């Protein structure tokens, strides 16, 4: 492939690129030359890793924009109206979905079924796929064509380009944010970016002895002034260095400054007064017990030393409960309702599933065309939109890929129509 011509070149063979390629070929027909350029040796490497290998490919609430954050939410809300939905998209490819608490998975429970359906559909449609093809530059030729340069110094010429290169999250899967630099060179800006859907690191000393514990909690993210930014409830997993679990993942996109903290409410359904009442009852019932057993039946025993430490209680765990002072009981009830963990930046791209931030909404049209350059379309995680955990990010990838493809094919058909009309005027004159 020293030099190569395509009508539409799709850069990135991940979720949005594959959906775009299928839609473009189905809308454009056999005349429309489409190529997918993927830097990995295989298409859709990341898709295989999604949903712990099960691929949570969408959600029954995927069109509700409250599940997304970023400057592109208004744009995405409009595009989701046009989108048939992930379940219908995959049904059209022969994949049956099942819902588990609203999350859509392939009936086979295997991400490979999803990738195979996409891959084999491309094969059926005879879409040209080039793997091991890293794109290093994108330029406009004097003939108004896109010139796409590969790492091997080959050139691909295309009338339209759909950039579907993902963000910075999970760089081991090919997404190291490198294509953002190419877009920057074309005049685009990138909003501030941060890892999303990932564990949030805190001070290891606060987690001492807690590794492996899972606890139900309402987790709130507070800014440096203590103002609530957002919260989510669910199971929090404690590791050596970080808080993890879906409700923590959902807060990560909002960690943007120094001095933030995560606050855990371990008994969300009770008021602080009710927690205090509960503790006094336990104090009375269990006054002769060891302090480490006081909260058994509510929390795992292993959690007690850390909880007491965080409450400023210096007593030994083998001391009897009756030695606790009213002040210490009050502090303990406060910690149970508001256990603070300072956020320690940075949490890393390698543990993140998604990029918060990207190309801002004001630089793209409602058809996902770049406002810096005509005939360049953007899809997926490159755009400043991040979804919550639960299939929302893949839903956005399929939806935006399909929308970008429809827009590119529409322009290709209009241009082709103009060319034909021009030729017939030329031949009749
Ligand atoms: C471990 C993990 C689990 C996840 N689980 C889920 C889940 O269950 N549900 C969910 O909704 N979301 C999940 N996500 C998020 C979801 O996978 C992404 O949001 C989605 O894949 C983004 O699609 P995309 O097409 O924008 O980018 P990607 O799918 O990341 O695809 C981008 C492609 O572009 C290629 N590329 C990059 N640069 C270049 C270049 N210069 N030249 C050529 N090719 C290039 C990359 O190699 C990659 O194949 C998960 C993510 C991870 C990391």
pLDDT tens figures, 188-226: 999 989 999 999 999 999 998 999 999 999 999 999 999
Distance 148 CA to ligand 1 centre (A): 21
pLDDT of residue 392 exceeding 70, the answer is yes
Cα separation values, 365 from 184, 191, 357, 369, Å: 17, 17, 17, 5
Q: Hey, where are the domains in the chain?
A: 3-193+354-421, 200-342
Least trusted range by pLDDT, from 47-51, 52-56, 79-83, 425-429? 425-429
* CA 202 – CA 261 distance, rounded (Å): 9
Pocket of ligand 1 (CB under 6 A): 11-17, 37-40, 45-46, 49-51, 55-56, 134-135, 164-166, 169-170, 174-175, 178-179, 353-354, 380-381, 391-394, 397
pLDDT of residue 426 exceeding 60: no
In percent, the amount of the chain with pLDDT more than 70 equals 96
Cα of 114 vs its chain's centroid, Å:
18
> Could you read off the pLDDT of 92-124 as tens digits, one per residue?
999 999 999 999 999 999 999 999 999 999 999
Q: Which residue has the tokens 């017990």?
A: 289
Indicate the fold that domain 3-193+354-421 takes in CATH: FAD/NAD(P)-binding domain (3.50.50)
Distance set, CA 400 to CA 155, 192, 201, 220, 396 (Å): 26, 21, 32, 31, 6
- Ligand 1 centroid to 43 CA: how many Å? 11
Residue 230 in 3-state DSSP? strand
Pocket mutation for ligand 1, best pick of 13, 17, 44, 46 (most atoms within 8 Å of C-beta) = 46
Choose among 265, 408, 256, 395: nearest CA to 334: 265
Instruction: Transcribe 311-340 into DSSP letters.
Output: TT--S-TTSBGGGS-HHHHHHHHHHHH-EE
Per-residue pLDDT at 308 exceeds 60: yes
């Amino acid at each position: 492939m020293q030099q190569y011509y395509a009508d539409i070149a799709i850069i990135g063979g991940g979720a949005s690129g594959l959906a775009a390629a299928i839609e473009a070929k189905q809308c454009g027909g056999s005349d429309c030359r489409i190529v997918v350029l993927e830097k990995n040796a295989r298409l859709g490497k990341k898709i295989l890793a999604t949903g712990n290998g099960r691929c949570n490919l969408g959600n029954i609430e995927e069109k509700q924009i409250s599940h997304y954050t970023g400057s592109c939410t208004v744009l995405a809300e409009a595009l989701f109206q046009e989108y048939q939905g992930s379940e219908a998209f995959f049904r059209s490819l022969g994949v049956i979905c099942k819902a588990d608490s609203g999350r859509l998975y392939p009936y086979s429970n295997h991400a490979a079924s999803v990738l195979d359906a996409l891959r084999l559909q491309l094969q059926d449609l005879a879409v040209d796929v080039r793997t091991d093809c890293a794109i290093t530059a994108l330029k406009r030729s004097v003939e108004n064509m896109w010139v796409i340069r590969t790492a091997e110094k080959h050139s691909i010429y295309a009338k339209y380009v759909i950039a579907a290169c993902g963000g910075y999250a999970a760089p081991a899967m090919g997404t190291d944010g490198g294509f953002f630099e190419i877009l920057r060179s074309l005049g685009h800006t990138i909003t501030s970016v941060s890892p999303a859907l990932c564990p949030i690191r805190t001070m290891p000393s606060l987690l001492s002895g807690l590794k492996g514990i899972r606890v139900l909690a309402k987790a709130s993210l507070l800014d440096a002034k203590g103002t609530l930014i957002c919260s989510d409830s669910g199971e929090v997993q404690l590791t050596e260095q970080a808080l993890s679990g879906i409700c923590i993942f959902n807060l990560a996109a909002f960690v943007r400054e120094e001095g933030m903290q995560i606050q855990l409410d371990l008994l969300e359904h009770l008021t602080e007064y009710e927690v205090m009442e509960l503790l006094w009852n336990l104090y009375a019932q269990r006054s002769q017990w060891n302090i480490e057993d006081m909260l058994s039946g509510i929390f795992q025993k292993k959690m007690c030393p850390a909880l007491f430490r965080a409450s400023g209680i210096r007593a030994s765990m083998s001391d009897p409960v009756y030695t606790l002072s009213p002040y210490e009981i009050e502090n303990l009830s406060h910690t149970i309702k508001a256990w603070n963990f300072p956020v320690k930046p940075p949490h890393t791209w390698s543990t993140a599933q998604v990029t918060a931030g990207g190309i801002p909404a004001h630089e793209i049209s409602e058809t996902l065309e770049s406002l810096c350059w005509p005939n360049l379309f953007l899809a997926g995680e490159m755009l400043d939109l991040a979804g919550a955990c639960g299939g929302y990010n893949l839903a956005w990838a399929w939806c935006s890929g399909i929308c970008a493809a429809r827009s590119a094919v529409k322009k290709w058909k209009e241009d082709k129509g103009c060319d034909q009309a021009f030729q017939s005027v030329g031949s009749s004159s």
